[in-house]
Amino acid sequence: MGSSPSSAVQEARAALGRRLREIRKTGGFRTARAFAARAGWSESKASRIENGITQPSEDDLRRYAELCQVPGVYPDLQAAAHNIEEMYVEWRRLQRDGLRPVQEAHVPLYERTHRFRIYEPGVIPGLLQTPAYARSIMSRIIGFWGIPDDTEAAVAVRMGRQQVLRDANRQFGILLEETALRSRFGDAEVMADQLGHLLAVSVLQQVSLGIVPMTADRTMWPLEGFWIFDDDQVVIELATAQVTVKQPSEIATYARMFSELAQIACYGKAARALITETINTLE
């Protein structure tokens, strides 16, 4: 990603332009001039789109798909274009009014999602957090960014979002690196309570909890944390921003990554043994 939201948007727009150029050439139009003539455009318009200078409209994307005789790529192109302006949102802008608005913003997404696939390498995900663990993480975020302290209100919203976890009609596939169990957010009492809660949640019928042991023979490398909501979107949390991916092809890539990680995770008794072992190492 770029160093700022604007540069990230520009990079994504340039990537979309390159893809359209490839589609155009594969479709038999060797030059932008030839394609523009067939589309009824000026040559400069096609050039600006393919060089990432101008954001293509839905009609523009449809013309590429239809004239190049690949109508099946249109949904992916459409999703990519829609995603460009919203894909990269600075944490500082999201959090400028505190953490509560950030927590509330995700409530509708949680409520309409039926299948959650969650991978976290270093923290227990919010859906499984205890109030004390969430409070510890949020207070550190607030201190780091220097934003308004609304810790208690934000924790309350996060706890309220966890109601979806009790819905037996939903599915939760959750993968954690063993490092997430051992990374301390709070004192030994907070961590013991959090890991005990993890044990309790792990036996819910709608929850599949996998732990990737540090000793695993890795066939998939550790990634940044990501959440897949149904097959509609992926949310990735970076150090400086939240990235939302909606292109079907990229969602499929994250789904494949999740599947690969799931194959090296342990479940059931083996996963609970790792959690219990971690509790026993707490001072």
For a pLDDT cut of 90, what percent of the chain falls above it? 74
For a pLDDT cut of 70, what percent of the chain falls above it? 93
Lowest-confidence segment of 28-32, 48-52, 64-68, 86-90 by average pLDDT: 86-90
Do 251 and 124 reside in the same domain of the chain?
yes
Q: Residues 19, 48: contact at Cβ < 8 Å?
A: no
CATH number, domain at 158?
3.30.870.10
Domain-ending residue, one of 86, 119, 134: 86
For range 28-48, the mean pLDDT = 94
Do 78 and 158 reside in the same domain of the chain?
no
Q: Residues 66, 120: contact at Cβ < 8 Å?
A: no
Do 187 and 213 reside in the same domain of the chain?
yes
For range 137-160, the mean pLDDT = 93
pLDDT (0 to 100) of residue 85:
63
Do 247 and 109 reside in the same domain of the chain?
yes
Contacts of 191 (CB under 8 A, 6+ apart): 133, 184, 185, 279, 282
Do 141 and 96 reside in the same domain of the chain?
yes
Do 62 and 141 reside in the same domain of the chain?
no
For range 124-152, the mean pLDDT = 94
Beta-strand pair 88-90/207-212: unpaired
Do 77 and 96 reside in the same domain of the chain?
no
pLDDT (0 to 100) of residue 2:
37
Beta-strand pair 88-90/241-245: antiparallel
Do 183 and 265 reside in the same domain of the chain?
yes
Do 173 and 214 reside in the same domain of the chain?
yes
Domain-ending residue, one of 71, 86, 101: 86
Between 126 and 237, name the one with better pLDDT: 126
pLDDT (0 to 100) of residue 7:
57
pLDDT (0 to 100) of residue 4:
42
Interval 101-115: pLDDT, tens: 889 988 999 999 999
| CA distance linking residue 283 with residue 281, whole number of Å | 6
Do 63 and 161 reside in the same domain of the chain?
no
Lowest-confidence segment of 39-53, 79-93, 119-133 by average pLDDT: 79-93
Domain-ending residue, one of 31, 52, 86: 86
Residue 1: which pLDDT band, with cuts at 50, 70 and 90? Answer: very low
Interval 227-282: pLDDT, tens: 999 999 999 987 767 788 888 888 999 999 999 999 999 999 999 999 999 999 99
Between 97 and 111, name the one with better pLDDT: 111
Q: Residues 67, 225: contact at Cβ < 8 Å?
A: no
For range 79-89, the mean pLDDT = 73
Residue 206: which pLDDT band, with cuts at 50, 70 and 90? Answer: very high
Q: What is the reported pTM? A: 0.75
Do 121 and 254 reside in the same domain of the chain?
yes
For range 221-232, the mean pLDDT = 92
CATH number, domain at 41?
1.10.260.40
How many domains does the chain fold into?
2
Letter string b/e over residues 198-208, b meaning 16 or more CB atoms within 10 A of that residue's CB: beebbeeeebb
Mean pLDDT rounded to a whole number for the chain = 90
pLDDT (0 to 100) of residue 116:
98
Do 80 and 199 reside in the same domain of the chain?
no
Provide the residue range defining the domain that includes 79.
5-86
pLDDT (0 to 100) of residue 87:
62
